[in-house]
Structure 1
Amino acid sequence: MDSSLSLSVCIPAYSMGGMGAKYLRVSLDILAKQTFRNFEVIVADQSDDSHIADLCSSYADMTIRHLDTRHLKRQSSANTNAAINAAQNEIVKILFQDDFLNGDDAITQIAHAFAEPEVKWVVTGSEHTRDGHTLIRPFVPKFHDRIQFGKNTISSPSVLALRREKAPSFDEALIWLMDVDFYKQCALRFGPPKILRKPLVVNRQHASQVSESVSRARVRQELRHVRRKYAAHMSWGDWLHYVGRLRRSLL
C-alpha cells in the first residue's frame, strides 16, 4: 500500500434526541484503535449543546477537528458537505455518527483499495445492529444505473470513501434520496465504484433515522427533483422505472 495515502474521516453530527454524543463515542473509540494512523477526523456539529464538542476534545491522541455548523441548513446533506469541504487529506471517508467501523483494520483495508490511482470511489460491505453489539444482515453493495430513484443497493453513505479531488457535493435539496443521488453523481463522474465485499461498516438501526420519518409527499417531491436533474441521461426504461417508483409513493 502507498504509505503516503492519507484519509479524512468526515462525520456529520447533531444531538439526535440526546443520543448523538453516545453514538459518536462508540465510533471514536473504534477509530482510536485503527491500525492505519494517517488520518484526521472532522466532526461537523449541528447540536445546540456542548456534549459533542466536549467529547471531541477528550481524545488527545487522535486528530479531531470540531466544526460548529449550526448556521447551515439543518440536514445531513449540508452538514456532510461542510465536513468534506474542511477535509485536508487525499481520501474522504464518510461515517455517519450513529454508525461505526467494523474492526481495527477497517481503514487500512479502505486505504489499500485506493492503491491504484484509477480508483476514485470505494464502497464496502456492511452489517446492521439494533443494540450496538449484535451484528445482523450482512450486505454486499452493488451499483445500478437507476439508483438515483431510491432502490438503494449500496447502503448508507457510511460505506463510502472517495478521492477528495473532483468529488461531487451532496444535493442539499434532498433528504431521503441524498445518498443514492450522490452515488449517481459519482458514477457519472468517475464510473462504477470499486466494491469491497467485506462488511467494514456497521449501520445502526433506530427510530430516529430519517428513513423512519419521511412523508410520502416528501418522497414524491424528491423523486421529481431527481427526475428533472437527470432527465438528459434517462432512457425510456429509466422513465418507466421512475413512474413506477412515483406510483408506489401514492399507495
Structure 2
Amino acid sequence: MTPLISICIPAYKRIEFLQRLLESIAIQTFRDFEVIITDDSPTHEVEELAIKYQSTFTVHYYKNEKVLGTPENWNEAIRRANGQWIKIMHDDDWFCDEESLGEFAQLAKQNQDKFIFSAYINNFLDKQETESVKPSGFRLRLLRKNPDTLLAKNCIGPPSVVLYKAGENEIFDKNLKWLVDIEFYIRKLKNKEFAFNNKPLINVGMSKEQVTSFCHTNPSVEIPEHQYFLKKNGVISLKNIWVYDAWWRLFRNFNIRQPKDLEKYTDGDWPPIINQIMKHLRCWPQWLLRIGVFSKFLMSLSFLKVKKKIK
C-alpha cells in the first residue's frame, strides 16, 4: 500500500544527529509514512542505525555507490520515494513534537495540489539558543503575488520545513548549493499555490558544519550561483523592486562595482541591467551604501531609472 508521506533523509555521517531525527519520527502519532535514507557516508554506521528502527517504522536504506553530495543526495532520496507526498528531512533537523507529522498530513489532505510549509525553530547548537521563525503577513503576500521575491528573503526556510506532492518530476538543481532551495521553491510556486502552518513543526539544527554556512558571504560561491540563477530564471524578475534590491545588496555587500570585479568570480557576459546596477553603485562611496536607509533610497532611485529598460 502506498504511504501518504515519504520522509526522505539524505544522510552523511553525523550519527548522533540522525538518531535524534529518527527518535522524533518514532514518536509520531501519524503513522502512514515510510522513511527513505540515502547514505553518502564512508562507513556503515548509518546503515546500522537504520536497521535498529526497522521494527518501529518502515525504513528503506540505500548506500550510494559514489558520494553524491548536496543536493544530489537529496534527489536520490526523492527518486527512491514511494509516497504520495515528499517530506525532505535533513539529518540535523527533527520534528518538534509527536503531532508534527500529523499536522503536515492534515494540510496535505486539505490542500491536495498545494506546496506546503510550516514555521520552524532554529536551534543554534554552538550557543544553546533557539529562535522561532515564521514569515510576516507582508512576506506571505509578496510570496503569493510573486515567488521571485524569495531571492530577496527566503521566508519559507530550509527544505525540512516543506511538503510537496510526489510524481511531479521535479528535483533540486544539482548546479546550486547556496540558492538550491530558493530556486526549487520559486520553480514550484510558479505553477501552484501554497498552504502555510504558522505553528513551528520542525526543529532546524544550525551549525558551522553546514554547507550553507560555508557558502554564506562567500563571493566565489554566491556570485557564480546568482549568475547561473539569472540565466535560468531570466532578467524579467528584476522588474520587481524586491528582486532588484536583492541584486543591489549582493553587489553592495561584495563591493562589486565594475565588470572586472565580476571577472574574479565568473566567466561570460552579464545582461545590461547588471551593468546598470554596478554603474549606479559606483556613484556612491561604500561607507554611505553601508547605511541601510541611504542604500535603500539609492536603490529605489536606481530601480526607477532602469525599470522600463528591463525586458
Same fold by TM-score greater than 0.5: yes
In the alignment, which residue of structure 1 is the partner of 2:20?
26
- 2:288 maps to none
Q: CA deviation at 1:243?
A: 3.0
CA distance, structure 2, for counterparts of residue 138 and residue 29 of structure 1? 22
Q: Are residues 1:240 and 2:244 paired?
A: yes
Is residue 35 from structure 1 mapped to residue 29 from structure 2 by the alignment?
Answer: yes
Partner of 1:197: 198
Q: TM-score, normalised by structure 2?
A: 0.72
Distance 2:35 2:200 in 1: 21
Moved more, 224-233 or 179-188: 224-233
Structure with the higher fraction of residues in helix conformation: 2
Deviation, structure 1 residue 228: 0.8
Asked if residue 71 in structure 1 is aligned to residue 66 in structure 2, the reply is: yes
Partner of 2:222, secondary structure, is helix
CA contact (8 A) 2:3 2:34 kept: no
- The percentage of aligned residue pairs carrying the same residue is 24
**5+ long unaligned stretches in structure 1:** none
Q: Secondary structure at the match of 1:234?
A: helix
Please, which moves more after superposition, 4-13 or 32-41? Answer: 4-13
- TM-superposition CA deviations, 1:178-219 (whole Å, max 9, x none): 11111101101223x200000000011111011221221110
Q: CA RMSD in A?
A: 2.2
* CA distance in 1: counterparts of 2:129 and 2:107, whole angstroms: 24
Provide the aligned length of Structure 1 versus Structure 2: 242
Normalising by structure 1, what TM-score?
0.88
How far apart are residue 121 of structure 1 and its match? 1.5
Rounded Cα–Cα distance in structure 1 between residues aligned with 2:129 and 2:97: 12
The answer (yes or no) to whether the contact 1:113–1:119 under 8 Å persists in 2 is no
Alpha-carbon distance in 1 for matches of 2:201, 2:45: 27
Shift of 1:134: 6.1
1:133, CA displacement in angstroms?
11
Structure number, greater radius of gyration: 2
Task: Give the equivalent residue in structure 1 for 2:57.
Answer: 62
- Alpha-carbon offset, residue 246 of structure 1: 3.4
Bigger CA drift: 233-242 or 168-177? 233-242
Label 1:150 to 1:221 Cα distance change in 2 as closer, same or farther (>3 A).
Answer: farther
Please report how far the alpha carbon of residue 162 of structure 1 lies from its aligned counterpart in structure 2 after TM superposition.
0.5
- Return the alpha-carbon distance in structure 1 between the equivalents of residues 129 and 98 of structure 2: 16
Structure 1 residues 147 and 47: CA distance shift in structure 2, 3 A: farther
| Equivalences for residues 218-233 of structure 1 within 5 A | 218-231=221-234, 233=236
1:80-119 alignment to 2 at 5 Å? 80-119=74-113
